[in-house]
Structure formats: structure tokens, C-alpha cells
């Protein structure tokens, strides 16, 4: 979902791995994914013309989500999805909007689609003891140089100008 968003909104040739590929790269199995393994996807994105990096963090503050949204970047968070038997599981959503004044938060949910939730309810699901306020920042930056021919070309230019 996030890679598609980057492809649509930024001028980049970012690869489009399948869900199965992503699961394999970040070592997802029946027990889930280790948070540190999420950044393994970055290696797959090295060939993109823009530098795209996924940075997983936990114990984050709401302000950090707001800052990312303010910069127009997609933000992935995990929330607790309760079941009817008192249990539940972690579930990822992509935050699209936060409105403190109206007390609502908007997100894209891979299961339920576009949703809006009361912010207090969201905060409690995000602050859940099993989730610990996980946030995956997507760093999108201009790559200073990417290929050896480009590097060589620039070097020649620099030398001739000096």
C-alpha cells in the first residue's frame, strides 16, 4: 500500500515486490515479524531513483505521526485489534490525517478500508501493551548519487572545473 502511494506521488522507479516477496524479505512467519527485520526491505529498494527507507521504531509519540504527515509522508502504525474472546492481535494501518480539535484520526486499513476513529480510542489501541506505540517512518529523500557512471561523470566535471 505504501510503496504504491510512493510510486503514485513521487517521481521514482521504486520496485514493486509482491506481498509474498516482502514477507520473505522481512522474515514474516506464522508468529509475525520482528520489528528490526522490517528495515530489511530497504535493501530491495536500493535501486530506486529516490532513496526510500523504512525505519521501524517503538515507544513513539503522537507528535511524531503528526510531523510525518505534515511532511506529506505515509506513516504506518500498529494498533491492537481485539477479538470477542478477550484476546486480539496487532494490525497495521496507514495514517492519513489527524485532527486534534475534532478528536479524530483518519487511516487506511488493509481490511476495513478508509476509516475515521475517535482519537482516544485510537491512542489506547496504539498504546496497547503488546504494541508499544510502533511507528514505521518512511524516509523519502533525493539520492545524492547512485551509479558508478554518474559518479565518474560528476568527478570528471569537478576536475575539469577546478
Q: Is 65 helix (H, G, I), strand (E, B) or coil?
A: helix
Name which of 83, 81, 94, 92 is nearest 121 in CA terms: 81
Binding of residue 92 to other proteins (CB under 8 A)? yes
Q: How far is the CB of 101 from other proteins (least distance, A)?
A: 6
Q: Which helix (H) or strand (E) holds 153?
A: helix 148-161
Site string for other proteins, 118-137 (x = CB under 8 A): xxxx-xx-xx-xxxx-x---
Q: What are phi and psi of 52, to 5 degrees?
A: -120, 120
Q: Closer CB to other proteins, residue 48 or residue 131?
A: 131
Class of residue 37 by CB neighbours under 10 A (exposed 0-12, middle 13-18, buried 19+): middle
Q: Closer CB to other proteins, residue 7 or residue 40?
A: 40
Question: By CB under 8 A, what part of segment 43-72 binds other proteins?
Answer: 58-59, 61-63
Q: Closer CB to other proteins, residue 62 or residue 95?
A: 62
Q: If you ran DSSP here, which 8-state letter would residue 103 be given?
A: T
What residues make contact with other proteins under the rule CB under 8 A? 31-36, 38, 58-59, 61-63, 78, 90, 92, 100-104, 118-121, 123-124, 126-127, 129-132, 134
Amino acid at each position: 500500500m505504501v510503496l504504491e502511494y510512493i510510486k503514485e506521488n513521487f517521481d521514482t522507479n521504486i520496485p514493486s515486490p509482491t506481498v509474498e516477496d516482502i514477507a520473505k524479505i522481512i522474515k514474516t512467519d506464522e508468529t509475525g515479524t520482528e520489528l528490526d527485520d522490517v528495515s530489511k526491505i530497504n535493501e530491495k529498494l536500493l535501486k530506486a531513483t529516490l532513496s526510500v527507507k523504512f525505519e521501524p521504531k517503538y515507544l513513539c509519540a503522537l507528535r511524531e505521526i503528526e510531523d510525518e504527515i505534515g511532511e506529506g509522508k505515509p506513516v504506518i502504525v500498529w494498533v491492537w485489534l481485539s477479538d470477542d474472546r478477550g484476546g486480539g492481535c496487532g494490525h497495521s494501518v496507514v495514517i492519513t490525517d489527524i485532527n486534534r480539535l475534532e478528536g479524530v484520526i483518519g487511516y487506511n486499513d488493509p481490511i476495513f478500508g478508509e476509516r475515521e476513529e475517535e482519537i482516544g480510542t485510537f491512542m489506547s489501541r496504539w498504546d496497547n501493551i503488546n504494541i508499544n506505540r510502533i511507528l514505521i517512518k518512511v524516509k523519502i529523500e533525493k539520492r545524492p548519487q547512485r551509479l558508478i557512471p554518474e559518479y565518474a561523470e560528476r568527478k570528471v566535471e569537478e576536475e575539469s572545473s577546478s
